[in-house]
Amino acid sequence: MKIDQESMFPSLAPLWEDFFGKDIMERAGWRGASSMPAVNIEENPQAFEVTLAAPGLQRDDFVIELHNGVLTVSSKKEEKHEEHDKKGKYTRREFRYHAFSRSFTLPKEVDANKIEASYKDGILSIHLPKREPGKEQPVKQITIK
């Protein structure tokens, strides 16, 4: 919340920072916690190439769907780690959940039937080939009956 300095009400930011510190999210382990992987999109004359940096995931962790011209890439992964003492009680129990979803509206020239994807070394690559350029339909006059 930002309030004009000449306002009757002071900004809450200094109070928040004094209490929690400026880097509370980083100290709490939230640095880089954004679930959105870095994405590069390149176009060449034959296709669009989409690459997502998603290290630590497996090929089966991804779902890629195309619906009404929108390509959606998503992933959900849960990791659990448990340590037990000799009596079978927990001495340490941790879990981590990672999920993201990215959607891209595809240009009309993408041939949806030929889209391919691969995953290697933490990089998900999606190949979106373009259709052959077609001739424009000639103007057709419709007779009114």
Residue 132 has pLDDT above 70, yes or no: yes
Residue 65 CB partners (closer than 8 Å, separation 6+)? 71, 72, 74
**H/E stretch holding 13:** helix 13-20
- Predicted confidence at residue 82, as pLDDT, reads 79
Summarised one tens digit per residue, pLDDT across range 22-81 is: 444 444 444 444 467 899 999 999 999 999 999 888 999 999 999 999 999 999 888 787
Residue with tokens 């176009």: 43
- Predicted confidence at residue 136, as pLDDT, reads 58
**H/E stretch holding 24:** helix 24-27
Q: Domain residues of the chain, as ranges?
A: 1-31, 34-129
- Predicted confidence at residue 20, as pLDDT, reads 46
Q: CATH: 2.40.10.10, 2.60.40.10, 3.40.630.30, 2.60.40.790. Which one for 34-129?
A: 2.60.40.790
Q: Are 122 and 142 in contact (CB under 8 A)?
A: no
Residue 112 has pLDDT above 60, yes or no: yes
